[in-house]
Amino acid sequence: MHDARPAVRLRGVTKRFGSHTAVDGLDLEIPRGSLYGLLGPNGSGKTTTIRMIMGILHPDEGTVDLLGSDDPDDTRRRRVGYLPEERGVYRKMKVLDFLVFMGEIRGVPRGEGRRRAGDWLDRLGLPEWADRKTEDLSKGMQQKVQFIATVLHEPDFLILDEPFSGLDPINQDVLEEIVRDFHERGTTILFSTHLMDQAERLCQRVCLISRARKVLDGGLRGLKVAERRGVLAVAFDGPEAWLDGPGVNSREAVGDAIHLLLADDADPQAILRRGIDAGAVIRRFELVEPRLHEIFVRHAGADAAVDAGIPRDRVPVAGGVS
């Protein structure tokens, strides 16, 4: 039953639109059963990558291997559930009819589709909406209906492009819970987001991309351990000008501490000495496990961090990455 081959394997995949390179030489492997995050700022190539996995776009170079299948079209249709970032509903259709149709085009017989759709509407608290038109739904409810449409054919591989965008926190929790639930039942899940905190909460493995290129990928735990040298948490009283100096790329307030993102050749001892010399009273000085977006900023650079929507004033560059 268990298949050791990855759910998706991309090798050297490149996609260009005219003179613009949307994805540049991307290698990616998504293990079966994993909950995998594809992270990067808007415009970094996430959606293009996903569209190539879904066969909607075709790579100019490289290969895409999906579930080791010889008939990728049929595999996509029957075994993959895809929730695109650009998602919508047929506005004049009734909710139940819409769901049955979405199931039907993925090979679920109409009767079976009707039954499953009913169950899902019950589960997500929308049973009384079955016979209403989809245009009457609120945005959050529409998103739930779209999610149901994505999973109605019980796929073994879920691809969710920015699944939580535009959801209020309560509905976000509901959907996160369902995503975890699918993960526990063994479904492979690839989801993309530009929100690092969310990925950190959900994912086991991540791939960070920026400006069409992969920055790094791997298991979240491993990455964090490997990056442990990179972030210094300090707390102190007194002046703070000493924070900006050699070895410190950027800083950010996290709770009552300040996180310093260190350059590769940084010497924490020298930074500590600089603080003491400046007259600061140090209360905490500790190498800490970095947060995902700190890893991202460290590797992709501050400009990419700005792309990612991290405000510039939180990443003052001081003699670090040029």
Partner 1 sequence: MSGVVWAVIRREYLQRVRSRWFVIATVAGPLLMLGLILVPALIASRGQEADRQLAVVDRTGVLYERVAEGLERAGYTVERADDGTDVEATLAARIESDEIGGFLVLDQATIDRGHARLTATSRPSIVRQVAFQQILVQAALEARLGGSDPGVRALLDGGDLEVSVVSDGGVGFDDAAFLASYIGAFLLYMTILLYAVSVMRSVLEEKSNRVVEVVISSMRPFQLMLGKILGVGAVGLTQLLIWALSGALIVGAGIPALLAANPQFAALSEFRQFLPGIGYAGLFAVFFVGGYFMYSGLYAAVGAMCNTDEEAQQAQFPVIMLLMVPIVFVTQVINEPNAGLSVGLSLVPFFSPILMFARAAGGAAPLWQVGLSVLGMAVTVVVIAWVAGRIYKVGILMAGKRPTLPELWRWVREA
Residues forming the site for partner 1 (CB under 8 A): 51, 54-56, 73, 76-77, 80, 82-84, 86-93, 101-102, 104-107, 146, 149-150
Length of the chain: 322
Is residue 229 within 8 A of residue 265, CB to CB? The reply is: no
Residue 90 or 229 with smaller CB distance to partner 1: 90
In whole angstroms, what separates CA 24 from the centre of its chain? 19
Is residue 6 within 8 A of residue 29, CB to CB? The reply is: yes
d(CA 218, CA 28): 10
Residue 73 or 237 with smaller CB distance to partner 1: 73
Longest pairwise C-alpha distance within the chain: 76
Residue 46 or 76 with smaller CB distance to partner 1: 76
Provide the minimum distance between the beta carbon of 102 and partner 1 in the complex, in angstroms, as a whole number: 7
What 3-state DSSP class applies to 255? Answer: coil
Provide the minimum distance between the beta carbon of 82 and partner 1 in the complex, in angstroms, as a whole number: 5
Provide the minimum distance between the beta carbon of 79 and partner 1 in the complex, in angstroms, as a whole number: 11
Residue 141 token pair: 């409810």
Provide the minimum distance between the beta carbon of 213 and partner 1 in the complex, in angstroms, as a whole number: 23
What 3-state DSSP class applies to 105? Answer: coil
Residue 76 or 291 with smaller CB distance to partner 1: 76
CA angle 180, 310, 42 (to 5 degrees): 65
Residue 241 DSSP symbol: G
Residue 98 or 242 with smaller CB distance to partner 1: 98
Provide the minimum distance between the beta carbon of 198 and partner 1 in the complex, in angstroms, as a whole number: 22
